[in-house]
Amino acid sequence: MDTCRLSKRGETVIKNSIKTDKKGFSLTVLQKRLLSVSLAIAFIFCVIAGRFFYLQVVSGSRLVLRAEDQWNREIPVIAARGAITDRNGKVLAGNRNTYSVFVRPAAVEDKLFTATALAAALRLDAKELHAKISVSGVSEVTVAKHAEGENVQKLAGLQLDGVYFARDNTRVYTYGEALCQVLGFTSTDGTGISGLEKYYNTLLAGENGEVLYGTDIIGVEREDAAVVYSPAQDGSSVSLTIDAEIQLAVEEAARSVYASSQAKAVSCIVLDPQNFDILALVNYPSYDLNDVPRDDAEQLNSLSRNRMVVDIYEPGSTFKVVTAAANLQEYVNGNPSAYSPERVFNSSRTRTVDGTRIKCWSDHKNGKHANQTLAQALNNSCNPCFTDIALSLGKEKFYEYLSAFGFGSATGIDFSGEAVGMLLPQSVVRNCDLARIGFGQTVAVTGLQLACAVAAAVNGGNYYLPHLVKAITSPEGGTEKIMPVLKTKVIGERASQMLAEMLEGVVTEGSGKKAYIEGYRVGGKTGTAQKYEDGKIAAGKYVSSFVGFFPADKPRYLALVTVDEPQGAYYGSVVAAPVAKEIFEDIIAIKNIQPYI
Give 290-339 as a DSSP string: GG--TT-HHHHHHHT--HHHH--B--GGGGHHHHHHHHHHHHHTT-TTSP
Domain count within the chain: 3
Q: State phi, psi for 189 to the nearest 5 degrees.
A: -95, 10
Residue with more model confidence, 433 or 68: 433
pTM of the full predicted structure?
Answer: 0.83
Residue 36 CB burial class (10 angstroms; 0-12, 13-18, ≥19): exposed
| Structural domain includes residue 13 | yes
Average pLDDT, the chain: 88
| Structural domain includes residue 570 | yes
Distance CA 168, CA 43 (A): 53
Same domain, 273 and 214: no
Same domain, 230 and 337: no
| Structural domain includes residue 460 | yes
Say what the pLDDT of residue 66 is. Answer: 54
Q: Which of 217, 240, 263 is the last residue of a domain?
A: 240
User: For the segment 27-85, what is each residue's pLDDT rounded down to a tens digit?
Assistant: 577 777 787 888 888 888 888 877 777 767 666 666 555 555 555 566 777 889 999 99
- On the question of pLDDT at 460 being above 50, the answer is yes
User: For the segment 220-278, what is each residue's pLDDT rounded down to a tens digit?
Assistant: 555 555 566 678 899 999 999 999 999 999 999 999 999 999 999 999 999 999 999 99
**CATH assignment of the domain containing 411:** 3.40.710.10
Q: How far is CA 350 from the centre of its chain?
A: 43
- Active-site entry in 317, 544, 545, 573: 317
Distance CA 511, CA 519 (A): 19
Same domain, 380 and 468: yes
Place 189 in a pLDDT band, splitting at 50, 70 and 90: confident
Distance CA 310, CA 289 (A): 20
Burial code of 266-287, b = ≥16 C-beta within 10 A, e = fewer? bbbbbbbbbbbbbbbbbbbebb
User: For the segment 492-539, what is each residue's pLDDT rounded down to a tens digit?
Assistant: 999 999 999 999 999 999 999 999 999 999 999 999 999 988 878 888
| Structural domain includes residue 477 | yes
Distance CA 593, CA 318 (A): 27
Measuring CA to CA, which residue among 475, 358, 412 is closest to residue 83? 475
| Structural domain includes residue 596 | no
> Are 494 and 526 spatial neighbours (Cβ–Cβ below 8 Å)?
no
- On the question of pLDDT at 334 being above 90, the answer is yes
Q: Which amino acid is at 427?
A: S
Say what the pLDDT of residue 3 is. Answer: 43
- On the question of pLDDT at 366 being above 60, the answer is no
Say what the pLDDT of residue 473 is. Answer: 97
The 3-state DSSP class for residue 548 equals strand
Same domain, 38 and 135: no
Same domain, 392 and 505: yes
Cα 117 to Cα 129, 133, 293, distances in angstroms: 10, 13, 31
Same domain, 556 and 412: yes
Place 97 in a pLDDT band, splitting at 50, 70 and 90: confident
Same domain, 449 and 560: yes
User: For the segment 140-183, what is each residue's pLDDT rounded down to a tens digit?
Assistant: 888 898 899 888 888 888 888 888 888 888 999 999 999 999 99
Contacts of 89 (CB under 8 A, 6+ apart): 239
Say what the pLDDT of residue 17 is. Answer: 46
Distance CA 243, CA 87 (A): 6
As a whole number of Å, the end-to-end CA separation of the chain is 151
Measuring CA to CA, which residue among 223, 220, 286 is closest to residue 251? 286
The 3-state DSSP class for residue 124 equals coil
Say what the pLDDT of residue 73 is. Answer: 61
User: For the segment 174-183, what is each residue's pLDDT rounded down to a tens digit?
Assistant: 999 999 999 9
- On the question of pLDDT at 7 being above 50, the answer is no
What mean pLDDT comes out for the span 436-444?
A: 96
**Other CB atoms within 10 Å distance of the CB of residue 512:** 30
> Are 443 and 317 spatial neighbours (Cβ–Cβ below 8 Å)?
no
Say what the pLDDT of residue 596 is. Answer: 84
Measuring CA to CA, which residue among 428, 444, 174, 195 is closest to residue 319? 444
Distance CA 113, CA 103 (A): 13
What mean pLDDT comes out for the span 378-394?
A: 95
Q: CA triplet 579, 563, 497: central angle to 5 degrees?
A: 60
Distance CA 440, CA 474 (A): 45
Distance CA 297, CA 304 (A): 10
**CATH assignment of the domain containing 230:** 3.90.1310.10
Same domain, 119 and 19: no
11, containing H or E segment: helix 2-53
Same domain, 147 and 39: no
Q: State phi, psi for 405 to the nearest 5 degrees.
A: -80, 0
Distance CA 466, CA 297 (A): 30
**What percent of the chain has a predicted confidence (pLDDT) above 70?**
87
Range of the domain at 347: 244-292+301-591
Rg of the Cα atoms in the chain: 38
Establish whether 317 is a catalytic residue. Answer: yes
> Are 173 and 183 spatial neighbours (Cβ–Cβ below 8 Å)?
yes
Cα 238 to Cα 99, 235, 572, distances in angstroms: 24, 10, 36
Q: How far is CA 108 from the centre of its chain?
A: 47
Q: CA triplet 436, 439, 445: central angle to 5 degrees?
A: 90
| Structural domain includes residue 114 | yes
User: For the segment 561-571, what is each residue's pLDDT rounded down to a tens digit?
Assistant: 999 999 999 99
Burial code of 358-380, b = ≥16 C-beta within 10 A, e = fewer? bebeeeeeeebbeebbbbbbbbb
| Structural domain includes residue 65 | no
| Structural domain includes residue 386 | yes
Say what the pLDDT of residue 74 is. Answer: 67
Same domain, 249 and 236: no
> Are 324 and 378 spatial neighbours (Cβ–Cβ below 8 Å)?
yes
Distance CA 574, CA 49 (A): 83
**Other CB atoms within 10 Å distance of the CB of residue 260:** 15
Biggest alpha carbon–alpha carbon distance for the chain:
151
Measuring CA to CA, which residue among 522, 525, 563 is closest to residue 544? 563
- Strand partners of residue 213: 73, 227
**Other CB atoms within 10 Å distance of the CB of residue 111:** 17
Say what the pLDDT of residue 277 is. Answer: 98
What mean pLDDT comes out for the span 277-288?
A: 97
Place 430 in a pLDDT band, splitting at 50, 70 and 90: very high
Same domain, 154 and 274: no
Same domain, 353 and 494: yes
